[in-house]
Chain A
Amino acid sequence: MQPIQLLAPDGTLTEDETYSPYVDALDESTLRDLYRSMVVERRVDAEATSLQRQGQLSLWVQALGQEGAQAGTVTALRATDMIFPTYREHVMALHRGITPQQLVAQFRATAHSGWRPQDHRFNTYGVVLASQTLHATGWAMGIQRDAAAGVEAARDELVLACFGDGASSQGDVHESMVFASSYELPVLFFVQNNQWAISVPATTQARGPLADRAVGYGFEGVRVDGNDVLASYAVAARMAEQVRGGGPKLIESVTYRMGAHTTADDPTKYRTADEVEEWGAKDPVARYSTWLRGRGLIDDAFIDAVEAEAQDLASDLRRTIHELTPVTLEENFDTVYAEPHRQIEVEKAWLRDYEAGFAEDSAAGGKGGA
């Protein structure tokens, strides 16, 4: 199955009977926003990588190369559609109004998550691979029940369940697809096949296209060129249309992780420079930029303005990174349970008294421990 492609790496657009109408329906402002989303995230991503190198983040997970897949897909959703991301959906996060500061909090280890899921309809990043696909499926069971109970907004709501080629081997993906299919739930499964699960190639996870697995569960799967932001949008838009009020669909977005798995990884140990170069020539931003320019939708002034906006965000992140307030151990005690718990109260009080003892010692002249 060849991935659906509308925009070739050289920036030429081909017509497709099924998918072109979705692109044709996009207004100019949305077309420019797709570009802006990708470029801004790429700059923030680079800044975060650099901040990690300087010890300001304990880890960073680059999305470099996957901007088209993410920007196209998130643009096809409505703001009310819940997204259950992996830990690499930075373009989607920024698109949903999460700030770069909120995004990096988890990676500066000041909090487990920098945002409230309900504020952005964007769940916390999922770190235990594929666990979030079941949460998305349960969310969809809620949508279905809300709709049956007469909640108008739920009738054509959907949920996006993100995962990667590595996570596709996890049992939770299988179980979520079984549940989604059996109950005909409005789940749009979105697997970004970026070719590498840390050091293991996608061929170790699957010998055939991941999209083909959908058929086994009784629903449709489509393969799209994830480095083609327009095809990514069109495929997601068409699939979303059918998922709303209907059953699940799977999109396999074929893309490439241009950077390391995380800043703790060294990809030169397991893949060739030739391979990286080959994918670099399929860059999602370059081809889209070429097309937009050719269509006269953007010019140097626009590109400069987006660059400036991206640079501002990155500089702002660098300037304010020290202001991220860590969750204290006291606050951590307070959120283990929603309701009072005897052992939590006892341990919290013990810690307070224990540390107060040092404060008294120091107030008494620093003779503690004599």
Chain B
Amino acid sequence: MAEASSEIREMVVAKAINAALRDALAEDPTTLLIGEDIGPLGGVFRVTEGLQAEFGETRVVDSPLAESGIVGTSIGMAMRGYRPVAEIQFDGFVFPGFNQITTQLAKIHNRTDGAVSVPVTIRLPYGGSIGSIEHHSESPEALFAHTAGLRILAPSNPQDAYWMTRAAIASEDPVIVMEPKRRYWLKGPVDTAAAPQDVHSAEVIREGSDATIATYGPLVPVALAAAEAAAEDGRSLEVVDVRSISPLDDETIARSAAKTGRLVVAHEAPTFGGFGAEIAARVAERAHHRLLAPVLRVGGFHMPYPPSHQEGRYLPDIDRMLEAVERSVAHSSRASSPV
């Protein structure tokens, strides 16, 4: 690790990812970045700002405007020993590359009986609340979670953004890093010298006793704010940052749910068929007898992401989380719950 970067610094999420990319590029000549507008512009979110000037056009590659091409050529480079980091500009544009991700990237290690690794990192800015037009606010993580062969990380803060990006690039497996785009400007401390933690574990980030809220990425600050508001009303909420979607540390989440007896899972993606269902099912299996209420979910509705004028009503907020907590608390006896 370069001396210059071994220190604790306050930085925003976007800058933390930028620092992680810079450190990875500096350390390993086989690491390279590819994506649309990531060169002189520095990406539409400026995450790659300054990197092409520093590392050159062959290592920070402005690609043709073609997501399947970005993922597909990254696979080819990875087969040859490179470690490409592909940027998909927005969540809604990952779908032209979906075939390459799901039928190729995820399966090549298995297809070749382990003979070929494809250490490709895909950076995917996702989620809403940025007031944008269609296809710029989606949360497709469940589609990738359902695909064996992919690892999926969901940082919620600058420290995780730095280390998860580093871990993704270092991994021999393909990793999708879900970047919480509305939190790109969230500031926090980043210790670039700290030994890499287990990026695939969930973390209890606020202790509580009445109920647990488990969430990841952009909704983590919302859950913390909900817990703060609940505390003022005398309700003690525990908050778990799920952090890793695949693999999933269901044990940590179940332990928290068993402790408080109540679990609310929140994400921006629609609840129907969403990743929260996986968490709910696993916690129910592990902690059924310790739960005082069914696991409840808070998320988007079963509709295409609405015109962003309406996203305030669509996205889970503090009130929606607290409403679910109250429903959970109100659920006390078997007889009183209609099917």
Is the beta-carbon distance between A175 and B112 smaller than 8 angstroms? no
Is the beta-carbon distance between B72 and A138 smaller than 8 angstroms? yes
Contacts of A341 in B (CB 8 A): 151, 246-247
Is the beta-carbon distance between A342 and B73 smaller than 8 angstroms? no
Residues from 119 to 162 in A contacting B, C-beta threshold 8 Å: 123-124, 128, 131, 133-146, 148-149
Contacts of B58 in A (CB 8 A): 144-145, 148
Contacts of B129 in A (CB 8 A): none
For residue B27, give the distance in angstroms from its CB to the closest CB of chain A.
16
Query: Beta-carbon contacts of B58-69 to A below 8 Å, as 1s and 0s?
Result: 100001101011
* Cα distance A327–B114 in the bound complex, in angstroms: 12
| Dominant secondary structure at the A interface | helix
Query: Beta-carbon contacts of A176-188 to B below 8 Å, as 1s and 0s?
Result: 1011001000000
Contacts of B99 in A (CB 8 A): 128, 131, 172
Is the beta-carbon distance between A113 and B111 smaller than 8 angstroms? yes
For residue B335, CB closer than 8 A to chain A, the reply is no
For residue A118, CB closer than 8 A to chain B, the reply is yes
For residue B250, give the distance in angstroms from its CB to the closest CB of chain A.
8
For residue A112, CB closer than 8 A to chain B, the reply is yes
- If A135-B104, A149-B29 touch, whether A141 touches B73 (CB-CB below 8 Å) is yes
- If A338-B173, A339-B173 touch, whether A142 touches B115 (CB-CB below 8 Å) is no
Is the beta-carbon distance between A134 and B100 smaller than 8 angstroms? yes
Query: Beta-carbon contacts of A331-349 to B below 8 Å, as 1s and 0s?
Result: 1101111110111100000
Is the beta-carbon distance between B113 and A111 smaller than 8 angstroms? yes
* Cα distance A359–B172 in the bound complex, in angstroms: 36
Is the beta-carbon distance between A135 and B72 smaller than 8 angstroms? yes
- If A134-B73, A145-B58, A338-B172 touch, whether A139 touches B79 (CB-CB below 8 Å) is yes
For residue A280, CB closer than 8 A to chain B, the reply is no
Is the beta-carbon distance between A342 and B69 smaller than 8 angstroms? no
Is the beta-carbon distance between A141 and B76 smaller than 8 angstroms? yes
Is the beta-carbon distance between B80 and A142 smaller than 8 angstroms? yes
For residue B93, CB closer than 8 A to chain A, the reply is no
For residue A116, CB closer than 8 A to chain B, the reply is yes
For residue A84, give the distance in angstroms from its CB to the closest CB of chain B.
8
Residues from 211 to 263 in B contacting A, C-beta threshold 8 Å: 246-249
For residue B148, CB closer than 8 A to chain A, the reply is yes
Contacts of B104 in A (CB 8 A): 128, 131, 135
Partner of A339, one of B69, B107, B171, B249: B171
For residue A201, CB closer than 8 A to chain B, the reply is no
For residue B264, CB closer than 8 A to chain A, the reply is no
Contacts of A176 in B (CB 8 A): 69, 72-73
* Cα distance A182–B115 in the bound complex, in angstroms: 31
Which residue of chain B has the shortest Cβ distance to A175 in the bound complex?
B69
- If A131-B72, A332-B110, A335-B109 touch, whether A145 touches B100 (CB-CB below 8 Å) is no
* Cα distance A344–B110 in the bound complex, in angstroms: 13
Is the beta-carbon distance between A137 and B72 smaller than 8 angstroms? yes
Contacts of B107 in A (CB 8 A): 112
Query: Beta-carbon contacts of B112-135 to A below 8 Å, as 1s and 0s?
Result: 111111010000000000000000
Query: Beta-carbon contacts of B82-115 to A below 8 Å, as 1s and 0s?
Result: 1010000000000010011001100111111111
For residue A97, CB closer than 8 A to chain B, the reply is no
Partner of B72, one of A118, A145, A172, A335: A172
Interface size range of chain A in the complex: 35 or more
* Cα distance A330–B249 in the bound complex, in angstroms: 22
- If A142-B80, A143-B80, A339-B172 touch, whether A179 touches B246 (CB-CB below 8 Å) is no
* Cα distance A343–B66 in the bound complex, in angstroms: 33
For residue A117, CB closer than 8 A to chain B, the reply is yes
For residue B189, give the distance in angstroms from its CB to the closest CB of chain A.
28
Is the beta-carbon distance between B111 and A139 smaller than 8 angstroms? no
* Cα distance A367–B29 in the bound complex, in angstroms: 62
For residue B20, CB closer than 8 A to chain A, the reply is no
Which residue of chain B has the shortest Cβ distance to A143 in the bound complex?
B80
* Cα distance A172–B96 in the bound complex, in angstroms: 10
* Cα distance A116–B117 in the bound complex, in angstroms: 12
Contacts of A337 in B (CB 8 A): 109, 149, 151, 173
Contacts of B64 in A (CB 8 A): 175, 178-179, 182
For residue A21, CB closer than 8 A to chain B, the reply is no
- If A124-B112, A332-B110, A335-B110 touch, whether A175 touches B77 (CB-CB below 8 Å) is no
- If A145-B58, A343-B246 touch, whether A338 touches B117 (CB-CB below 8 Å) is yes
Contacts of B267 in A (CB 8 A): none
For residue A122, give the distance in angstroms from its CB to the closest CB of chain B.
12
For residue B74, CB closer than 8 A to chain A, the reply is yes
For residue B200, CB closer than 8 A to chain A, the reply is yes
Contacts of A131 in B (CB 8 A): 72, 99-100, 103-104
Which residue of chain A has the shortest Cβ distance to B118 in the bound complex?
A338
Contacts of A144 in B (CB 8 A): 58
For residue B75, CB closer than 8 A to chain A, the reply is yes
* Cα distance A134–B70 in the bound complex, in angstroms: 9
* Cα distance A137–B70 in the bound complex, in angstroms: 10
Is the beta-carbon distance between B68 and A134 smaller than 8 angstroms? yes
For residue A368, CB closer than 8 A to chain B, the reply is no
For residue A366, CB closer than 8 A to chain B, the reply is no
Partner of A178, one of B66, B115, B247: B66
For residue A294, CB closer than 8 A to chain B, the reply is no
For residue A357, CB closer than 8 A to chain B, the reply is no
For residue B312, CB closer than 8 A to chain A, the reply is no
Query: Beta-carbon contacts of B7-39 to A below 8 Å, as 1s and 0s?
Result: 000000000000000000000010010000000
Partner of A138, one of B79, B112, B114: B79
For residue B196, CB closer than 8 A to chain A, the reply is no
Q: Known contacts A138-B73, A142-B82, A342-B248; can you find 18 more A-B pairs with CB under 8 A?
A: A112-B111, A123-B79, A128-B99, A131-B72, A134-B69, A134-B71, A136-B76, A138-B72, A138-B74, A139-B77, A139-B80, A142-B79, A172-B100, A331-B113, A336-B149, A338-B171, A341-B246, A344-B247
A-B contact pairs, 16 of them (CB 8 A): A112-B111, A117-B116, A134-B71, A138-B79, A139-B77, A141-B82, A142-B80, A145-B82, A171-B96, A172-B72, A175-B68, A336-B109, A338-B119, A339-B172, A342-B248, A343-B248
Q: B: which residues have CB within 8 A of A?
A: 29, 32, 58, 63-64, 66, 68-69, 71-82, 84, 96, 99-100, 103-104, 107-117, 119, 148-149, 151, 171-173, 200, 246-249
